[in-house]
Structure 1
Amino acid sequence: MSCHDLDGSSEESTSGERKFLLVGNPNVGKSVIFSKLTGKNVMASNYAGTTVSMTEGTIHYQGTKSSLVDLPGIYSLEASSPAEEVAVKVLEAREVDAILFVLDATGLEKNLPFAYQILGYGIPVVFALNLLDVAKAKGIQIDINRLEKELGAPVISTIAVRHIGLKEILQKLHEVSSKKKKVAPSHRPKSVEEYWSEANRVSQQVQKVTEPRQSSFLDRLSMLSLQLLPGTLIALIVLCLSVAFVVGGGKALRSLILLPLVNDLYIPWITQFMSQFMAEGIWLNVLVGEYGMLVKGIEWPFALILPYVFLFYIVLSVLEDTGYLPHLGVLVDGLLRRIGIQGSNIVPFIMGYGCAIPAILGSRAATTYRERVILATIVSLAVPCIAQTGAFIALLGEHSAMALIFVYLLSFLAILFSGMLLNKSISGKSDPLLVEIPHLLLPNEQALMKKIYLRTKSFMIEAEIPMILAIGVAALLVETGLLNALGIFLQPLVVTWLGLPQEASIALILGVIRREIAVLPLLEMNLTTLQMVVGSVVALFYLPCLSAFAVLTKEFRLKLALAVSLSTIVVAFFVGGLIHHIGKALLPLLI
């Protein structure tokens, strides 16, 4: 929803463009407000560190066009993290007309110290007092007029998910930016201690809590999920339900709907259609042959991978928008500290099971560079993305559930081992856990559906084109006979050490482009269960896809990206060969 939807005007002005900053603590609804005001496709997630890099959108109001810059969600301007450093640099540049500061009506006192820091810059500020519906449910009432007098700036009541107060925000932003009036709180604190003392005084003056109410089910669930014993049980239930939904639902979609559509309708039709225009030969086979771009390029990403990707993004989006992930972060903080990262990093860590790229980018929310390196390395090495998961299920699920469990157990052990090794080898310490615990809320349906759609669309765009190109390479290798020559060259590694058939060389080549394509060609081969496990293990630890490598290079420079990639290759081939030889030795004893 853009601003011309709010005031009925869509006319743009090319002159007098203004620039506004959007700031606030994490979990106050800042990204929701940004998305509503600009209409930009920005995901609103209910956990700290969502918006680490600046995001800019355009707003239209009464014939004028302005820009809104969404700064990282942070707690202060102490510049103790990359996100805070970004905010300080932008504020010190003073190239803005006004600031929109979002306050949480349910936690006013903890928001105000940061608000006073922002007021200290003397830039016109408009405060959006958000989450008033949640505050009301908790019996919290706030005197808006008195709060305005204390802060010396306008305060607008908002419920962003229901579009309440957004038009008033726009009106007030343009009003204060036109007047260029500096803000002046009734009392200006001068130190951190005074910030908190003043925040306590003001919150007591403007806020009161009505008669005690019974805790809601979500409030009680929130408290239980933070405790070790019931929290661990809740986490296991959530994990089991999530896995059952993704794996079971994905298999059902694949076998009952998508595979019949592709195999029974699409493939016969596209094969017959292309045969009418092209004679038999290499180029026809490249398009609709064994590794045809128009055959496997549709079957693999749409029929085999997409069901699991789509359902995983449903689960991830629900967990984000309910606010459960930070609760899980507190619960697993002790475990994650053993591998050198604090519990708040559970968010990008879990995102790695969807895709390594947002997980690596999400590591920016870590408080130290050391934690970023550890997190990015672990995700690149041992966390299978959802596309890999779909490929593993397609390869192993129909043959041996124990084999599939073994691969993921190995992944978990690799995460622990590599994390502890990195924790000991990289100097420095992890900061204490400081994470905002948001309220457990029912997701907003519109925002949830938009997020799932955007994530699925992004995956298909990023995965489909590289996958089709990789399949084209595979088809050319097969049709020109280069695969045989390549197989002979790689025979000592592929056949002797890994115990895979010679044609499996193609999987290793294609896996450079995308990890899951190191698994999918194995579906076309008559492999034993041991060979399937070895192929899956190699694909699990194999080097990151080209897109992930590019992000690693951008975030940590080429030297670290190369070190991580070479390490994954060595681990993949070493562990894969080890499993082959151990399995081969134990097999006669089990028969």
Structure 2
Amino acid sequence: MDCHSQDESVVPVRSDEIRVLLMGNPNVGKSVIFSKLTNKEVLSANYTGTTVGFTSGKTEHRGQSISIIDVPGTYSLETTSPAEEVAIEMLGEGAHVVLCVLDGTNLERNLNLALQLQQCSIPIVFAVNFMDVAERQGITIDTEALSRELGAPVLPMIAIRNIGLKEVLDQILKVASRELKSCQPGVIPQEERWKEIGRIAEKVQRVDHRHPTFQERLGDWMLLPMPGLPIAFLVLLIALGLVVGGGKALRAVFFLPVTHDIIVPAIKAFVSLFVTEGLVFNLLVGEYGVLVKMVEWPFALILPYIFLFYIVLAFLEDSGYMPRLGVLLDRTLRSMGLQGGNIVPLFMGYGCAAPAILGTRAATTYKERIIVATLVSLAIPCASQTGAFVALLGERSITVLLMMFAISLFTLIVAGNIMGRLIPGKIDPMLLEIPNLLLPDGKAVTRKIWLRTKNFMVDAQVPLFFGIALAALMVETGALESFGEFIKPLVSGWLGLPQEASLALVLGIIRRELGVLPLLEMDLTTLQLLVGSVVALFYVPCLAVFAVLFKEFGIKVAIFIAGLTIFSAFFFAGIVNQIGTQIVNLF
């Protein structure tokens, strides 16, 4: 965001960069504010030595370069969670300004963090967000009075409509210190702190009675079994329709024509200038040619579904619907040894299993962590694997595709119930904040979709390259035929798949979608497609997921989960094949 109006009262603090820590409770709109303020050099990363993520970016205002670090959302600075520890570490590293975002609809809760930051020597600017939502709820906040109480600038803001952003940047330039200042906040006794919060809130806030809006009533309805469950079912149908139907349309209209009619012929023509036949030619552009499949598989087959899945995920996250789904499914999850808050890492598993497993650190018990990690590894297909399933089954049989999702859901519930009873440990009560139901900000959602899609395409390239190169070598050297002969009783006998399907078993270890994509190259019956998909669904976690399991739980747990998935893949797929074969023979 670049602003260049000529307000003589504001001058650049210095010629070098201003470091700003963007802080606040979860769900106060920090991600929207960050997206609005920064539009270049955005970096997402984990804080050193942790799995807690943060984002940094740069902007320029009145000729001054400003670096903004989006600190993980935290309710306090009392080191009771990894996010709070990271927030304190970042304060200790120093900043020129802290921009603390307060939620105008939950002022008292937000003042808990504000009073702790008030003790720091780092200059602070407070921004009260959601002022429009607060007004609709009958809440009036006197920001000038709040500024006097906190001893720092307090600005009203409606970030989603760009209101207050320029004024915040102006204040940052006004109050920024001339050198980095660090902060080790002291501890105010909780009883004393909450008394002060109550006094300030009573002085600066007025709440008038008024009837709830339709949007507020809808948010409340989503928490109730009726009509919450029908709404959840409708949301699921819309999401599935968008990802599956929209992905097929994108592939047919754009991705496949561009890949098959333009990119692949150009690659083959270019390679033919230097190599015309033989092993090298086949490795590059043959049946499993690295240069062809490196474009075809991730770009033409997976990307359309990944892109649309991230649109759905971003909307569910930024609208405030995800916590409501957690409340709605709390009873179901408790039968699985989990509480409703675990809906977040479980849903993240449909994006990628690795961050979903890392996300279990927010769980309150070790039992919950083990159950979520096992379920994500066993029964939840990641976004790229889902895209491969849709590409494999969508053209042949929508019924089989829906059966795959049904098998995944059924396994999730049954396996969760079994582990919930067998694994010792308790289930803590669900403590989950329910944010306001909001229409997501287009710019923030677009930025999030872009970053996630870009990261997927970048992260997938190296494993895909090695996987495809291995496939090409096995095919061209005859190793695949030898390996297929060795495991023929398992693949051709028990599973009823062609011998060359053994390639998918090898590649699936590298990346989960590679356990599906080789099946696209084979002429399989509908039953074989279902069997192959069941194998891929349950099959061993990819190397990246296994590494995360090892890091988080140790080698014994990682090997146990990998062994469980391998056994489940072959056992249940074989059962499907045997039953399916009997039915086919019968009719």
When normalised by structure 2's length, the TM-score is: 0.88
1:513 equivalent to 2:510? Answer yes
Residue number in structure 2 paired with 1:246: 243
What amino acid maps onto 1:241 in structure 2? I
Residue number in structure 1 paired with 2:490: 493
Residue number in structure 1 paired with 2:351: 354
Residue number in structure 2 paired with 1:109: 108
Residue number in structure 2 paired with 1:207: 205
How many correspondences in the alignment?
574
* Deviation for aligned residue 1:201: 3.1
Distance in 2, matches of 1:466 and 1:124, equals 46
Q: Structure 1 residues 317, 108: closer, same or farther in 2, change over 3 A?
A: same
- Alignment map for 1:182-193 (pairs within 5 Å): 190-193=188-191
Distance in 2, matches of 1:99 and 1:24, equals 10
Contact 1:2 1:38 in 2 (8 A): no
Distance in 2, matches of 1:289 and 1:339, equals 47
Contact 1:224 1:231 in 2 (8 A): yes
1:83 equivalent to 2:55? Answer no
Distance in 2, matches of 1:179 and 1:287, equals 57
What amino acid maps onto 1:418 in structure 2? A
* Deviation for aligned residue 1:364: 3.3
When normalised by structure 1's length, the TM-score is: 0.87
1:23 equivalent to 2:23? Answer yes
Residue number in structure 2 paired with 1:125: 124
* Deviation for aligned residue 1:143: 0.9
Residue by residue, what CA displacement relative to the aligned partner does 1:66-87 show, whole Å, maximum 9, x if unpaired? 7544332122345443323434
Q: Secondary structure at the match of 1:466?
A: helix
Contact 1:2 1:36 in 2 (8 A): no
Residue number in structure 2 paired with 1:185: none
Residue number in structure 1 paired with 2:143: 144
Residue number in structure 1 paired with 2:177: 178
The answer to which of 348-357 and 55-64 deviates more is 55-64
Residue number in structure 1 paired with 2:47: none
Residue by residue, what CA displacement relative to the aligned partner does 1:343-398 show, whole Å, maximum 9, x if unpaired? 22222321211222332233333334443332222112210012211221222233
Q: Structure 1 residues 447, 22: closer, same or farther in 2, change over 3 A?
A: closer
Instruction: Pick from 403, 409, 412 the counterpart of residue 406 of structure 1.
Output: 403
Contact 1:12 1:65 in 2 (8 A): no
1:196 equivalent to 2:189? Answer no
Residue by residue, what CA displacement relative to the aligned partner does 1:454-513 show, whole Å, maximum 9, x if unpaired? 222222222244323322221121111111111122223322332221111111111111
Residue by residue, what CA displacement relative to the aligned partner does 1:215-251 show, whole Å, maximum 9, x if unpaired? 4332221121111110111111111111111111112
Residue by residue, what CA displacement relative to the aligned partner does 1:415-453 show, whole Å, maximum 9, x if unpaired? 123323333344332322222212222222222222222
Distance in 2, matches of 1:37 and 1:9, equals 19
Residue number in structure 2 paired with 1:230: 227
Q: Secondary structure at the match of 1:22?
A: strand
What amino acid maps onto 1:225 in structure 2? M
Q: Secondary structure at the match of 2:22?
A: strand
Q: Secondary structure at the match of 1:128?
A: strand
* Deviation for aligned residue 1:111: 1.4
Aligned-residue Cα RMSD (Å) equals: 3.3
* Deviation for aligned residue 1:64: 6.6
Residue number in structure 2 paired with 1:279: 276
- Alignment map for 1:144-543 (pairs within 5 Å): 144-173=143-172, 176=175, 178=177, 190-209=188-207, 212=210, 215-543=212-540
Q: Structure 1 residues 332, 78: closer, same or farther in 2, change over 3 A?
A: farther
Q: Secondary structure at the match of 1:295?
A: helix
Q: Structure 1 residues 173, 367: closer, same or farther in 2, change over 3 A?
A: farther
Q: Structure 1 residues 305, 142: closer, same or farther in 2, change over 3 A?
A: same
The answer to which of 473-482 and 61-70 deviates more is 61-70
The answer to which of 310-319 and 256-265 deviates more is 256-265
Q: Structure 1 residues 121, 263: closer, same or farther in 2, change over 3 A?
A: closer
Distance in 2, matches of 1:3 and 1:11, equals 16
Structure 2 unaligned regions, length at least 5 = 45-50
Identity %: 54
Q: Secondary structure at the match of 1:294?
A: helix
Contact 1:189 1:195 in 2 (8 A): no
* Deviation for aligned residue 1:280: 1.3
Residue number in structure 1 paired with 2:134: 135
Q: Structure 1 residues 507, 332: closer, same or farther in 2, change over 3 A?
A: same
Distance in 2, matches of 1:2 and 1:545, equals 43
Q: Structure 1 residues 440, 523: closer, same or farther in 2, change over 3 A?
A: same
Distance in 2, matches of 1:41 and 1:552, equals 29
What amino acid maps onto 1:82 in structure 2? P
What amino acid maps onto 1:199 in structure 2? I
Distance in 2, matches of 1:507 and 1:114, equals 52
Distance in 1, matches of 2:387 and 2:422, equals 34
Q: Secondary structure at the match of 2:177?
A: helix
Structure 1 unaligned regions, length at least 5 = 44-50, 183-187
Residue by residue, what CA displacement relative to the aligned partner does 1:164-192 show, whole Å, maximum 9, x if unpaired? 43454445456555399x9xxxxx99543
Q: Structure 1 residues 190, 307: closer, same or farther in 2, change over 3 A?
A: closer
Q: Structure 1 residues 508, 304: closer, same or farther in 2, change over 3 A?
A: same
Contact 1:142 1:208 in 2 (8 A): yes
* Deviation for aligned residue 1:414: 1.8
Residue number in structure 2 paired with 1:568: 565
